């Protein structure tokens, strides 16, 4: 039912002759820390305007993959392409104008105000002479207002609650003004209502600001609810990829998460919802 | 869908005053201007007082007149040739140590990171003590002795600094690792210095001890020149690195995400700090705790999230010149200036640790 509405919308907005452009792609990437290979020969394409969630059990390499997509980790073989160009050979500053990222637990220096934090998002657009232009100021003011953080601009980041802090970081990513946004478990350490708050914000970035979003998430139900596409990983390999309703099945949960579970429709959104039964050995 | 609402009064986004002229723009915090300016004014006063003290006392007014070229009688010689070098070396050493301390602390995100705790000043001591103790002995000792103490100290500091950098480097420099390896190097340097001293002739050991405590005695323009040149080159580079330093503070991932070439920037910051310290220590010995204390005082005076580079430099210069003035006038016996900075610095370090700031914990 919901899937039908989704495809109908898709057909209305994009002509079949004009498939969405691939913005970010991994080609045969092998990712390793020292000698330990975490991801091997993985391919993934992320199209313009998509909202993708990468899911998988702990240690499956999903964060590692995200790091590689955000050029924080260089593949030992294969490559990551940003708009068709090898990201490793693109000046990091140029990348920073197109692709923004939010690490899992970012640290703000003690005493830094929210306004200063969000202003740091303008770094790739600034230079030694041009440190705080009218453009910068307007963009930062807008980013703060859009994330509902304007009133907290003068507050030190370390005095904020967990949810507010995550909003501040998302505000900074917004101020960076990039088309693509990669987020590594943005809901870690947040209670459920703040998880929803943060993901609503990300969903608005996608819907209202046209951002292409890739997010690593632990919570399958939230991933299915917010993302248009789920990418499931296990042991460093891509197991399934597609709309949540197609990916999130009892078979996949058994195979990927060693979990016996029922999958039913989320009573609120109709997206698949996982009800765990027991762990399979 | 946008909701039309009356525009609220523009909230203050960031502290500070916006400056814009054509393509140039920036943000100025008044405290970050006032602190260095006021610090410099007090520094000039302390320097003038210091140059006035001695067997032939000269008033502050006369000192200042002499400095602008209006001195009379023996004053120009006494001030410009005999006393100014000591004060100028002191100020330059303080400046270099203050800036280097601010660089290290910001970079390592740890107020305990300083050239003292990282072993760099200890490396200079090894070089200097070796030059003093071994000269006249073996052939390598004779070579070291031939270099002279300042050059041997410079070499010792640079070797230790580069070693610290090389051992810490793992596709980037981790601040925590930097501090741990620095402490290990410091211990190794201490052991080496002690070994050299226990084997030294008594007169050599005594003069080595004076050097180790850090002293401004009998400095000449020859000591000031290499340090002055180094500061003239390194200080602008350090100030230019300030903008990137503000982003490096967020950690490697965020900094890279914001378009900073992290490895290159880290290498530049650490090496800048190492060179500043090496030249400073070479000129006056390891005047301890200046690089540790001053940046933390500076950041409390200016506010903000990291030690300000320029203010740390000016306050460092002020601290060394003032400490030197105090050791020569207030105390009954003229002590090496390094002892006084240690007496001030050690309790401060304890306070820093006891207060239990999150990032002061190792």
pLDDT along chain A (281 residues), means of 10: 44 60 96 91 96 95 96 95 96 96 89 93 92 91 94 92 94 96 94 95 94 96 96 95 96 95 94 94 76
Of A207, A180, A202, give the one whose Cα is nearest residue A190. A202
The pLDDT, as a whole number, for residue A9 is 46
- Selected for mutation to probe chain B from A71, A103, A117, A148 (highest B CB count within 10 Å) is A103
CA-to-CA dists, residue A213 to A78, A193, A228, B37, angstroms: 23, 21, 10, 48
The model's confidence at residue B173, banded by pLDDT at 50, 70 and 90, is: confident
Whether pTM > 0.90 for this model: the answer is no
The angle that helices B120-134 and B175-198 make with each other, rounded to 10 degrees, is 20
Percentage with pLDDT > 90 across chain B = 44
Q: Please give the DSSP secondary-structure letter assigned to residue A106.
A: -
For testing contact with chain A, the best of B241, B249, B253, B308 (most A CBs within 10 A):
B253
Is the Cβ–Cβ distance between A273 and A251 less than 8 Å? no
* ipTM here: 0.88
Q: Are the Cβ atoms of A129 and B243 closer than 8 angstroms? A: no
Cβ–Cβ below 8 Å for A119 and B12 = no
Kindly determine whether residue A115 and residue B25, on different chains, have CB atoms separated by under 8 Å.
no
Residue A255 to chain B, least CA–CA distance (Å): 33
The answer to whether the Cβ–Cβ distance between B15 and A71 falls below 8 Å is no
| Contact across the interface for A137 and B18, Cβ inside 8 Å | yes
Residue B356 forms contact with A (CB below 8 Å): no
Say yes or no for a CB contact (<8 Å) between A130 and B25.
yes
Structure tokens at B156: 């010792």
Residue of B10, B14, B240, B300 to mutate for A, most A C-beta atoms under 10 A: B14
Select from B245, B259, B352 the residue whose CB has the most chain A CBs within 10 Å, as the one to mutate to test that interface.
Answer: B259
- The dihedrals phi and psi of A185, each to the nearest 5 degrees, come to 45, 65
Provide the pLDDT for residue B141: 61
What is the Cβ-side half-sphere exposure of residue A217, based on CA atoms within 13 angstroms?
25
B27 vs A contacts (CB less than 8 Å): 131-132
Choose, out of A123, A136, A148, A152, the residue to mutate when testing the contact with B (most B CBs < 10 Å): A123
Query: Closest approach of chain B CAs to the CA of A160, in angstroms?
Result: 16
Contact: A119, B14; criterion CB under 8 Å: yes
Q: List the beta bridge partners of residue A275.
A: A262
Inter-chain CB proximity B250 and A107 less than 8 Å: yes
Out of B13, B252, B259, closest to residue A119 by CB? B13
Q: Which positions in chain B touch A107 (Cβ < 8 Å)?
A: 109, 250-251, 254
Tell me the pLDDT tens digit for each residue of B67-108: 888 888 888 899 888 899 999 999 999 999 999 999 999 988
> What's the pLDDT at A12?
46
Q: Does B257 touch chain A (CB under 8 A)?
A: yes
**What is the model's pLDDT at position A16?**
55
Question: What's the CA gap between B336 and B187, in Å, rounded?
Answer: 23
Residue A38, pLDDT score: 94
Which residue among A102, A110, A144 sits closest to B359, beta carbon to beta carbon?
Answer: A110
Which tokens in the block code for residue B278?
């090496």
Residue from the list A67, A111, A153 with its beta carbon closest to the beta carbon of B13: A153
Is B14 within 8 Å of chain A by CB? yes
Separation between Cα atoms, residue B102 and residue B298, nearest integer Å: 9
Q: What is the pLDDT of residue B343?
A: 84
Residue B1 has pLDDT above 50, yes or no: no
SS3 annotation, chain A = CHHHHHHHHHHHHCCCCCCCCEEEEEEEEEEEECCEEEEEEEEEEEECCCEEEEECCCCCCHHHHHHHHCCCCCCCEEEEEECCEEHHHCCHHHHHHHEEEECCCCCCCCCCEHHHHHHHCCHHHCCCCECCCHHHHHHHHHHHHHCCCHHHCCCEHHHCCHHHHHHHHHHHHHHCCCCEEEEECCCCCCCHHHHHHHHHHHHHHHHHHCCEEEEECCCHHHHHHHCCEEEEEECCEEEEEECHHHHCCHHHHHHHHCEEEEEEECCCCCCEEEEEEEECC
- Note the pLDDT of residue B315: 95
Chain B residue with CA closest to A73: the answer is: B253
pLDDT beyond 90 at B254: yes
Cβ atoms within 10 A of the Cβ of A48, count? 16
User: Residue B254 is nearest to which of A67, A106, A144, comparing CB atoms?
Assistant: A106
- CA-based nearest distance B118→chain A, Å: 22
Hey, are the CB atoms on B305 and A112 less than 8 Å from each other?
A: yes
Q: How far apart are CA A191 and CA A195, in angstroms?
A: 6
By C-alpha distance, the chain B residue nearest A140 is B13
Across the A:B interface, residue pairs with CB atoms under 8 Å apart total 117
């Amino acid at each position: 039912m919901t899937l039908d509405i989704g495809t109908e919308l898709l057909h209305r907005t994009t002509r079949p002759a004009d498939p969405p452009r691939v913005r970010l792609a991994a080609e045969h990437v092998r990712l390793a820390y020292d000698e330990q290979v975490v991801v091997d020969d993985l391919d993934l394409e992320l199209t313009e305007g998509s909202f993708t969630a990468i899911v998988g059990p702990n240690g499956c390499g999903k964060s590692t993959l995200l790091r590689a997509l955000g050029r924080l980790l260089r593949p030992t073989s294969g490559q990551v392409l940003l708009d068709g160009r090898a990201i490793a050979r693109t000046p990091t500053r140029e990348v920073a104008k197109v692709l923004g990222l939010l690490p899992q637990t970012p640290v703000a220096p003690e005493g830094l105000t929210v306004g200063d934090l969000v202003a740091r998002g303008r770094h790739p657009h600034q230079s030694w002479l041009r440190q705080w232009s009218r453009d910068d100021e307007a963009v930062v003011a807008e980013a703060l207002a859009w994330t509902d953080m304007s009133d907290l601009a003068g507050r030190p980041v370390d005095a904020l609650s967990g949810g507010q802090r995550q909003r501040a970081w998302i505000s900074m990513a917004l101020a960076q003004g990039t088309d693509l946004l990669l987020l590594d478990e943005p809901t870690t350490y947040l209670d459920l209502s703040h998880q929803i708050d943060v993901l609503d914000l990300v969903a608005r970035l996608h819907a209202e600001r046209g951002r292409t979003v890739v997010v690593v998430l632990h919570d399958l139900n939230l991933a299915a609810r917010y993302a248009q596409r789920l990418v499931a990983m296990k042991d460093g390999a891509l197991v399934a990829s597609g709309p949540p309703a197609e990916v999130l099945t009892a078979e996949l949960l058994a195979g990927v998460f060693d979990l016996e579970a029922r999958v039913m429709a989320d009573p609120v959104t109709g997206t698949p919802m996982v009800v765990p039964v027991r762990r399979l050995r | 869908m946008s909701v039309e609402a009356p525009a609220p009064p523009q909230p203050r986004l960031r502290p500070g005053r916006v400056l814009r002229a054509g393509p140039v723009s920036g943000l100025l915090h008044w405290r970050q201007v006032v602190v260095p300016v006021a610090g410099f004014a007090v520094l000039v006063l302390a320097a003038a007082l210091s140059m006035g003290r001695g067997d032939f006392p000269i008033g502050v007014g006369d000192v200042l007149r002499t400095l602008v070229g209006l001195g009379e009688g023996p004053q120009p010689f006494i001030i410009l040739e005999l006393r100014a070098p000591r004060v100028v070396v002191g100020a330059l050493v303080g400046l270099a140590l203050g800036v280097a301390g601010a660089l290290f602390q910001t970079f390592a995100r740890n107020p305990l990171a300083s050239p003292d705790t990282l072993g760099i000043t200890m490396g200079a001591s090894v070089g200097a003590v070796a030059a003093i103790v071994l000269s006249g002995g073996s052939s390598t000792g004779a070579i070291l002795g031939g270099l002279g103490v300042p050059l041997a100290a410079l070499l010792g500091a640079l070797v230790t600094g580069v070693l610290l950098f090389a051992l810490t480097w793992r596709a980037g420099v981790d601040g925590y690792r930097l501090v741990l390896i620095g402490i290990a190097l410091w211990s190794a340097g201490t052991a080496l210095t002690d070994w050299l001293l226990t084997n030294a002739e008594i007169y050599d050991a005594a003069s080595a001890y004076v050097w180790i405590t850090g002293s401004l005695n009998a400095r000449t323009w020859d000591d000031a020149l290499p340090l002055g040149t180094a500061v003239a080159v390194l200080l602008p580079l350090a100030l230019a690195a300030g903008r990137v330093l503000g982003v490096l503070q967020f950690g490697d991932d965020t900094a890279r995400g914001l378009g900073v070439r992290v490895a290159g920037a880290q290498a530049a910051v650490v090496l800048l700090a190492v060179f500043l310290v090496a030249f400073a220590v070479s000129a006056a010995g390891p005047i301890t705790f200046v690089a540790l204390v001053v940046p933390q005082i500076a950041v409390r005076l200016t506010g903000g999230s990291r030690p300000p580079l320029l203010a740390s430099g000016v306050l460092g210069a002020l601290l060394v010149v003032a400490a030197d003035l105090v050791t020569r006038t207030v105390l009954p016996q003229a002590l090496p200036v390094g002892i006084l900075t240690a007496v001030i610095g050690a309790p401060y370090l304890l306070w820093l640790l006891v207060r239990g700031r999150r990032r002061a914990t190792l």
